[in-house]
Copies of this chain bind each other. A is one copy, B any other.
């Protein structure tokens, strides 16, 4: 089973994929960008993919939201991972040697206090594990990567410092993607995206669709609509499966009043890996 993820070997998404598909033999397919991940699944070059959608420190990942709306893929499952970042460098290096730190922008944000306190220059890299790989290849003792402890093993680096994140409550929620629209019987959560007509009270009206049916909203994110300044689309997670009558009626009701509705998927709420 081929599972696409963004980043190099050792990325958090790969780790999430290994936990999610624990019982199966998976072959991870490393992709450079999120767009490449989605294209691999929609074009059936991968059987599934694992993508991050939200982090408890930085919020929703808007690039992934946009791709979930635009590409022909379906959310088929979920898993949550506790994220703990480590500072990785060449063997023999000390923390005081380090001047520059390489990592993914989200990881740099999550460790901004550490980076600021140590007066390090931060350099954006397309993923955390890729930064670890780069540090292992550069042979420069003044640079380090912020990545998972697992990536140290993958690239022959040492861990100079653990738990760099500003806040210990650092979890990322991932979705498993599929190129076939399937809903398992144990699905208990649905993700939908919709846009509003531009009229007063439009969002309140839409949320009534859920409230009058006692369907609990789990999260709501607004994303700008590209090309229509100051207009937004909304990503909503709500309780229950699209196979249930109440939820299915709610979606039909949404289609009556929204110019655009797409059900991203119904799936079982993910467990949390600590």
Contact between B59 and A62, CB atoms less than 8 A apart: yes
Contact between B200 and A214, CB atoms less than 8 A apart: yes
Is A243 part of the contact surface with B, judged by Cβ < 8 Å? Answer: no
Contact of A203 among B220, B223, B224 (CB under 8 A): B220
9-residue interface stretch from A7-15, A154-162, A205-213, A244-252: A205-213
Contact of A123 among B123, B218, B221, B223 (CB under 8 A): B123
9-residue interface stretch from A40-48, A142-150, A177-185, A225-233: A225-233
Contact between A59 and B228, CB atoms less than 8 A apart: no
Interface residues on A, range: 35 or more
Alpha-carbon gap, A221 to B226, bound state (A): 17
**Chain A interface mostly:** mixed
CB distance from A238 to the nearest CB of B (A): 10
0/1 per residue, A104-123, Cβ < 8 Å to B?
Answer: 01001000000000000011
0/1 per residue, A9-44, Cβ < 8 Å to B?
Answer: 000000000000000000000000000000000000
Contact of A56 among B207, B214, B217, B229 (CB under 8 A): B229
Residues of B within 8 A of A217 (CB): 201, 203-204
Please give 8 more A-B residue pairs, beta carbons under 8 A apart, in addition to A57-B226, A58-B62, A59-B224: A123-B123, A201-B214, A204-B204, A204-B207, A207-B207, A218-B230, A219-B230, A221-B222
Mark A residues whose CB is within 8 Å of B.
54-59, 62, 105, 108, 122-124, 167, 169, 171, 200-201, 203-205, 207-208, 210-211, 214, 216-224, 226-230, 232
A sample of 13 cross-chain residue pairs with beta-carbon separation below 8 angstroms, ordered by A number, consists of A57-B224, A122-B124, A124-B124, A169-B228, A200-B216, A201-B216, A201-B217, A203-B217, A204-B210, A204-B217, A219-B222, A219-B230, A219-B232
